[in-house]
């Protein structure tokens, strides 16, 4: 018979004790779990990595598998309801961001948006929302049955991008519509365009309507005064942050903040999250949120962020000087998150520029449109990488690259005024059929067409398909329409 004793089983594994001066309770709890392993008769069934494909284990490292566990076990606390170190980590995040309550999200900001939609935008109510919102907001409206009242932001024609949301357009929509459940804006845009949230919040307060800000791309703002001010401090009721996008946490991990004085009931948010989130939340992802918040608050993290801002300024300055290279800059109409650098090069489409950067320079960009490429200057980028990037653009500017697909005035995002025929939920659940694209003009779309990134819609359920949509549907042979 094999004998196990608690003493022999405990391995007291070591960790490298690199210290950060800021508390991170969930990281500590996970470290404790790692150092004091128990014999596992619970999920996950790979049992501390024992039943994992060897190649995969080697690839990601043994420790990653040892640390892959979920809440409930080993004094790690629970996510729903929040208890133990998870609760403490969420409270520290709320303090760091200046929120009343902060919730950890394990399906990205997508889950945060779905939750907010379910809490506020009840069936038949209206939601004032910018057309270039992320598709998760549309999904939220399909779930809730709310009716979108679309706000078309300003158009940056030269860049084929959506620009800022005019506060006056929000006020007009509020004047023209009763039964508005909330105003929901995206700030910043994917490319870093920042609207006047303070004024939008003032208008929302005047009409006594809650304001949600999808700040998925702005989670760093609270940690450096050279970045725009977070909507958490400008009068929003709820704010969503994709920490995994730019904040340094692992992919899929995000936060939902309910602001001080919010019209949202945090307990209702918690109950709704419990319905939508996984019942086996990854401790690794949650600890990575705790770690990212602690890092951003630490001296090291602050330094990393101010360095990223310096680098972004440097890249902008250098690229602007190059022949035929243009960088999207703030104007008197809109502010900008300067760490998001949208670049275009004369004679090259964004897609061609992307492939040149990839093939000739081994540089992968965040995204590419027909017009340009989006570069994120991140807290993790190193000085040599920044210089390499600038050098690459210097070479591209001098070289005679050709682009047989380049056409002046290409359009990237469908900046069209939607023709709404049916409510999105009603359309989504109607009888549908799939037909060739050429036969779809004049029919009503039954599907969400919103390519990622950035997940901005071309067509939604309930909208009329017109000739104007065709240039944006090149990838589609068939479309799903209402029967």
Ligand X SMILES: Cc1ncc(COP(=O)(O)O)c(C=O)c1O
Residues that bind ligand X (CB under 6 A): 108-110, 134, 136, 186, 190, 214, 216, 242, 254, 453-455
DSSP E strands in 315-395: the ranges are: 325-327, 335-336, 340-345, 367-368, 373-376
Give the helix ranges, DSSP H, for 68-107. 84-97
Q: How far is the CB of 8 from ligand X (least distance, A)?
A: 44
Cβ-contact 278, 127 below 8 angstroms: no
Which CB sits closer to ligand X, 72 or 215?
A: 215
How many contiguous H segments (helices) and E segments (strands) does the chain have? 15, 17
Q: Are 152 and 418 in contact (CB under 8 A)?
A: no
Chain residue at closest Cβ approach to ligand X: 108
Cβ neighbours, 10 Å, residue 428: 23
Q: How far is the CB of 187 from ligand X (least distance, A)?
A: 9
CB nearer to ligand X: pick between 186 and 336: 186
Q: How far is the CB of 216 from ligand X (least distance, A)?
A: 4
Q: Which is nearer to ligand X, 162 or 223 (CB)?
A: 162
Beta bridge partners of 447: none
Cα(466)–Cα(473) distance, rounded to whole angstroms?
11
Distances (CA, A) of 34 to 48, 68, 121, 436: 10, 10, 43, 55
Report the alpha-carbon distance of residue 329 to residue 343 in Å, rounded.
10
Radius of gyration of the chain (CA): 24
Is 222 or 242 the residue whose CB approaches ligand X more closely? 242
C-beta of 108 vs 372, nearer to ligand X: 108
For the CB of residue 276, give the shortest distance to ligand X in the complex, in Å: 12
- Cα separation, 332 vs 327, in Å, equals 16
Q: How far is the CB of 418 from ligand X (least distance, A)?
A: 18
Angle at the Cα of 105 (from 36 to 61), degrees rounded to 5? Answer: 40
Of 180 and 374, CB closest to ligand X: 374
Residue 240: CB minimum distance to ligand X, A = 7
Give the closest residue to 467 by CA, choosing from 441, 446, 449, 443.
441
The smaller minimum CB distance to ligand X, of residues 34 and 97, is found at: 97
Least Å distance, CB 97 to ligand X, is 16
**Terminal alpha carbon distance of the chain:** 68
Cβ at position 380, least distance to ligand X in Å? 18
Phi, psi of 424 (to 5 degrees): -55, -40
Token pair listed for 183 = 């105003």
- Pick between residue 33 and residue 282 the one whose CB is nearest to ligand X: 282
- The strand pairing partners of 340, in sequence order, are 376
């Amino acid at each position: 018979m094999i004998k196990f004793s608690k003493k022999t089983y405990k391995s007291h594994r070591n960790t490298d004790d690199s210290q950060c001066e800021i508390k991170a309770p969930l990281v500590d709890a996970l470290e404790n779990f790692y150092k004091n392993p128990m014999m596992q008769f619970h999920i996950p069934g790979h049992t501390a990595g024992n039943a994992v494909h060897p190649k995969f284990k080697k690839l990601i490292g043994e420790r990653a598998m040892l640390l892959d566990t979920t809440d409930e076990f080993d004094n790690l606390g629970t996510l729903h309801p929040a208890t133990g170190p998870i609760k403490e980590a969420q409270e520290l995040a709320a303090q760091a961001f200046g929120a009343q309550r902060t919730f950890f999200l394990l399906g990205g900001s997508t889950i945060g948006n779905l939750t907010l939609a379910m809490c506020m935008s009840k069936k038949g109510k209206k939601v004032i929302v910018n057309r270039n919102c992320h598709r998760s907001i549309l999904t939220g409206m399909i779930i809730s049955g709310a009716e979108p009242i679309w706000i078309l932001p300003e158009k940056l024609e030269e860049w084929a991008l959506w620009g800022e949301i005019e506060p006056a357009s929000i006020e007009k929509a509020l004047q023209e519509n009763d039964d508005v459940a909330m105003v929901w804006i995206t700030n910043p845009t994917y490319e870093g365009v920042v609207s006047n949230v303070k004024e939008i919040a003032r208008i929302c307060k005047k009409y006594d309507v809650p304001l949600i800000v999808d700040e998925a791309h702005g989670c760093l703002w609270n940690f450096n005064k050279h970045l725009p001010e977070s909507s958490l401090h400008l009068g929003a009721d709820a704010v969503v942050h994709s920490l995994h996008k730019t904040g340094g946490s692992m992919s899929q991990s995000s936060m939902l903040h309910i602001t001080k004085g919010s019209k949202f009931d945090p307990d209702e948010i918690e109950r709704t999250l419990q319905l939508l989130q996984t019942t086996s939340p990854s401790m690794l992802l949650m600890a990575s949120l705790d770690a990212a918040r602690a890092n951003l608050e630490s001296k090291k993290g602050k330094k990393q962020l101010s360095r990223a801002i310096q680098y972004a300024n440097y890249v902008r300055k250098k690229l602007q000087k190059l022949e035929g290279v243009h960088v999207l800059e703030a104007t008197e109409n809109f502010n900008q998150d300067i760490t998001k650098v949208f670049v275009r090069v004369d004679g090259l489409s964004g897609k061609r520029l992307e492939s040149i950067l990839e093939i000739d320079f081994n540089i992968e960009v965040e995204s590419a449109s027909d017009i340009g490429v989006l570069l994120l200057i991140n807290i993790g980028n190193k000085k040599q990488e920044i210089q390499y990037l600038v050098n690459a653009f210097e070479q591209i500017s001098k070289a005679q690259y050709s682009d047989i697909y380049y056409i002046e005035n290409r359009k990237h995002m469908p900046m069209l005024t939607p023709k709404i025929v049916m409510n999105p939920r009603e359309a989504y659940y109607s009888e549908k059929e799939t037909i060739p694209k050429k036969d779809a003009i004049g029919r009503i779309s039954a599907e969400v067409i919103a390519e990622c990134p950035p997940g901005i819609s071309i067509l939604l359920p309930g909208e009329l398909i017109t000739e104007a949509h065709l240039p944006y549907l090149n990838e589609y042979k068939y479309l799903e329409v209402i029967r």
